[in-house]
Amino acid sequence: MNTLEKWATGREILSQPNVWSAWAPELENIAENTKAWVAERNPDEILLTGAGTSAFIGLSLEHVLSSLTKWRVRAVASTDLVAAPYHFLATDAHPLVVSFGRSGNSSESVGVMELLDRFCSGADRLNITCNQDSRLAKAEGQGLGETRVVVLPESTHDTGFAMTSSYSTMLFTAMTCLGQQNRILEMADAARVVLSLELDAFGLQDCPERVVFLGAGPLVGAARESALKILELTKGQVPTIWDTPLGFRHGPKSFVNENTKIVMFKSENPITRCYDNDLEHELHDQFGEDVVVSIGRHQSDASVTLPLSAEDAWNAPIFVILSQLAGVKWADAKGINVDNPFIEESNLTRVVSNVRLHTHKGW
């Protein structure tokens, strides 16, 4: 049996293009209504929040959405909001808080809702979740703010430990609901190309000792998510780090040894891509041609070319599919239970719901 089809996680990765294609028509109406609602509510700013993978969605979206709307957009992880809300929320403010959650029941998702009820009741809320029975899906805000909920298809509610189709579909949904033209069908075609390739096309057929993921701008979120996917699925047996191409020189490059793979996600911005190319040439000179795999749309400056979008944020999930594939295949080769890597140790769980929430008294 094919390694991917052997595991629920692998089957969920493979399903993504079809999931997106089926969701695209329904999303058109949802996005049109959501855009009108946001314009009517006219928030002070937009906060994009979630924990772990769900937080990285915001990292890929904040800058591109800021350029599309008249509002400031900030990505603030729910883990930061719950721990130190006074740094991000004002009691007299009127933000739109966009919460992402696969399960919609994590401790931090619940904590953010409670904080808004108590201290920022003027906040509007857009909850994007994959679980129709979750706290996020059934939320009703208290106070002057209004709540809208977008529940994704049940097929995005991943049964595996690692977030895969939930991550990509929530990102595309937010992009479409908050300002961008729906390009999901275009990205589904790009994903099919990635899924048709073997890992050896990327030089990743053999599991390395360490992996680095690099991306700039909206691709920072893709780099962080890719590093997390490998770390989670291989149960920490393959150490990973992420950074930007420019930031990598300032210390993190010390992570590289003779058994490291460096995966670089090439930007569509021509100036940003110049910095990508400069680092790639430097790494080739220092560590050899086989250490770096660069992925992009342009044959002139990428070792692997794909039919990508001209917008980095749309490409983020396409790049992440590579780490999803590698994570599954490397974990399987190591004898790890891909669908539940921590089934024996139980030091990580699919849904983080046992965090003790402490009560803030105001600020």
pLDDT tens profile 323-337: 999 999 999 999 999
CA distance 341 to 349: 9
Positive/negative CA dihedral, 272, 16, 188, 47:
negative
C-beta of residue 89 within 8 angstroms of C-beta of residue 43: no
Tokens of residue 82, six digits: 């719950």
Q: Which superfamily does 3-184 belong to?
A: Glucose-6-phosphate isomerase like protein; domain 1 (3.40.50.10490)
**What are 49's strand-pairing partners?**
99
Domain boundaries, the chain: 3-184, 197-333
Confidence of residue 292 (pLDDT cuts 50, 70, 90): very high
Confidence of residue 262 (pLDDT cuts 50, 70, 90): very high
What 3-state DSSP class applies to 252? helix
Can you give the pLDDT at residue 347?
64
CA distance 56 to 221: 5
Each residue of 151-182: pLDDT tens digit? 999 999 999 999 999 999 999 999 999 988 89
User: Is the pLDDT at 213 greater than 70, yes or no?
Assistant: yes
Q: Residue 131 contacts by C-beta under 8 Å, 6 or more apart in sequence?
A: 101, 102, 103, 104, 105, 137, 151, 157
Tokens of residue 297, six digits: 């749309």
**What are 263's strand-pairing partners?**
213, 293
Confidence of residue 143 (pLDDT cuts 50, 70, 90): confident
Can you give the pLDDT at residue 1?
67
Do 3-184 and 197-333 share a fold?
yes
CA distance 338 to 205: 17
User: Is the pLDDT at 266 greater than 80, yes or no?
Assistant: yes
Write down the residue that tokens 């929530």 correspond to.
170
User: Is the pLDDT at 235 greater than 80, yes or no?
Assistant: yes
Confidence of residue 356 (pLDDT cuts 50, 70, 90): confident
With a pLDDT cut of 70, the percent of the chain lying above it is 96
Reported pTM: 0.95
Can you give the pLDDT at residue 346?
64
Confidence of residue 363 (pLDDT cuts 50, 70, 90): low
CA distance 259 to 186: 36
CATH 3.40.50.10490 fits 197-333, yes or no: yes
User: Where does the chain have alpha helices with state H?
Assistant: 3-6, 8-41, 53-68, 78-83, 107-119, 165-177, 184-196, 219-233, 270-287, 312-333
Confidence of residue 343 (pLDDT cuts 50, 70, 90): confident
Positive/negative CA dihedral, 346, 349, 353, 357:
positive
Cα–Cα nearest to 319, from 259, 257, 268: 268
